[in-house]
Amino acid sequence: MRHTPQPIAPTNIRPKHVPLAQTDIEWALTQMDGVIDVSEEDLVEIYELAVKHARNRDSK
């Protein structure tokens, strides 16, 4: 009988949801250089920075 290797960790695990606070968005905006004309890519970067900041805040 042949066995298929199993992944080390389940692939359906989602990161813990951390609610964003206004301060997380404000912090993320401070990480951007100067005044920005927000494109879709910029908005995604701001969101990702804010989520990372929220997770760091939540883990302390």
The per-residue pLDDT of the chain, averaged, comes to 79
Count the domains in the chain.
Answer: 1
3-state helix, strand, coil in the chain (%, to 5): 45, 0, 55
21 neighbors 54 (Cβ within 8 angstroms): yes
Give SS3 for 38.
Answer: coil
Residue 4, domain member (yes or no): no
Residue-level pLDDT at 7: 63
pLDDT given at position 3:
64
Which tens digits make up the pLDDT trace of 21-42? 888 888 888 888 777 788 888 8
Tell whether 44 is covered by a domain: yes
Residue 12 lies in a domain: no
Strands (E), the chain: none
pTM, to two decimals: 0.51
**Percent of all residues in the chain with a pLDDT value above 90, rounded to a whole number:** 0
